[in-house]
Amino acid sequence: MAPPLTHDQWLTILRAEGVTVAEYPGWRTRQRDDETGKPFGPVHMFVNHHTGGRDARDVVARDGVPGLPAPLAHVYLARSGVATMCSAGRANHAGLMAVNAYNSFLNEESSHPAPSAASGTVDGNDVAYGIETENRGDGTDVYPREQYDAWVRINAAVCRHHGWSAASVGCHKETSIEGKIDPRGPVEGYGDRGRFEFTPAQFRADVAERLTHPASWSPGSTTSPPKQEETGMDLNDRVLLGDWVPKAWPDDKGLADKQITINTALGGGYAYARRAAETTGALLTEVRALRAEVAQLRAAMTKGT
């Protein structure tokens, strides 16, 4: 049981997991809670979908389809691997779930029975996050490597945040009582693995593997990438200046050690550049005025001769 992720939490956990995130205009206010009068959450699982067509970002985030108003998912995942946030509220993606299947995810069981309407139904849109992954869904359209990688990362990020295992990750075809087939199709590759067929079991295994590593981990590598502190620079770090700087300003005591902080360099650079730009503008104005005067004088002299 968990309260739904806030808008800012979504962005934070996806970026921490190495996902490239875009924000669809209006996504912070777009949700189905108001229209239906039903609140979103508490949430208990993640449901994965394919779009069934290309370039469906606007449809999922803003337009919806007849009889099914947008948002149609919380996240839209393009073939490029870029994730677009569409909503953090209630979204129309899961429809009715079979209770027997839903309970197996709620309780994080190791196996998931085929959804049976006879077991009763639950409104999946109340209790599940959803992602629409761009794919024609015809069983032959390939999920590119970067798309599958981002897909695993997104599911893992949500599980990591809520403290869920990969057993909270499901697919639409595993929960729906309406005979859904998504997602399906070949995957170009993942980590050290070449082409393979998408299956919910393999997907959960990949999410589970990811959850054994820190969020910064990349598949196929046994070590984590170096931390930002080790490779990046701090604004208080000092950088060496070229010899020409103290030579140009020998009386500038601040440059005695031939070092400067990045902060000072950036601030100083901005101030000098701005001053230079303003001075140049003033000079140009004066030059134009002088040229006009010269032209007048020349005209007067020509008349005189």
| Span near Zn ion by CB under 5 A; candidates 32-40, 180-188, 236-244, 265-273 | 180-188
> What is the Cβ-side half-sphere exposure of residue 89, based on CA atoms within 13 angstroms?
17
Shortest Å distance, C-beta 172 to Zn ion = 3
Burial class (CB in 10 A: 0-12, 13-18, 19+), 197: exposed
Give the footprint of Zn ion on residues 48-107 (CB under 5 A): 49
* Residue 172 within binding range of Zn ion, rule CB under 5 A: yes
| Span near Zn ion by CB under 5 A; candidates 113-121, 153-161, 175-183, 229-237 | 175-183
Cβ 190 vs Cβ 152: under 8 Å: yes
Among 182, 203, 210, 211, binds Zn ion (CB under 5 A): 182
- Beta-strand ranges (E) seen in 109-150 are 121-123, 128-133
Nearer to Zn ion, 48 or 104 (CB): 48
Query: What are the residues whose beta carbons fall under 8 Å from the beta carbon of 90, sequence distance 6 or more?
Result: 31, 32, 33, 36, 38, 39, 40, 125, 126
Nearer to Zn ion, 68 or 283 (CB): 68
Nearer to Zn ion, 160 or 172 (CB): 172
C-beta atoms surrounding 201 within 10 Å: 10
Nearer to Zn ion, 182 or 206 (CB): 182
Nearer to Zn ion, 199 or 259 (CB): 199
Shortest Å distance, C-beta 12 to Zn ion = 27
| Span near Zn ion by CB under 5 A; candidates 20-28, 182-190, 261-269, 288-296 | 182-190
Q: Output the CA torsion 125→171→178→93 (10° steps).
A: 30
| Span near Zn ion by CB under 5 A; candidates 30-38, 44-52, 159-167, 275-283 | 44-52
Burial 6-39 (b: 16+ CB within 10 A, else e): eeeebbebbeebbbebeebeebeebbbbeeeeee
Binding interface with Zn ion (CB under 5 A)? 49, 172, 182
